[in-house]
Amino acid sequence: MPTYITLAKFTQKGIEEIKNGPNRLDEAKKMFEAMGAKIKDFYLVTGKYDMLVIVEAQDDETIAKLALIIGSKGTSRTVTFRAFTEDEYRKIIGELP
């Protein structure tokens, strides 16, 4: 399955309800699994973003739906990137003219 990296920031609402953050993460994991995706890794990070999440999903449409669902909760804003493994990278480069 394709891998995606999501960077997220807490909104004001998310910070105000931060004590419920672990429960929100558990709910997100269940929702992702129900849609055929998986949160592989979660990190609380310092710097410009608050969280880094590594996800596997079957396609871009699924990850877009999940991002919209998460965003609609109002506790975080996300930026998601398609990530290519080293093997995928080597295949892409190997197919260049």
> What residues make up the domain containing 16?
3-94
Strand order in the sheet with 3-10: 38-44, 51-56, 3-10, 76-83
pLDDT, one tens digit per residue, over 13-60 is 999 999 999 999 999 999 999 999 999 999 999 999 999 999 999 999
CATH number at residue 21: 3.30.70.920
CB 17 within 8 A of CB 75: yes
Number of domains in the chain: 1
Q: What is the pLDDT of residue 14?
A: 96
Q: What is the pLDDT of residue 89?
A: 97
User: Percentage of residues in the chain with pLDDT exceeding 70?
Assistant: 100
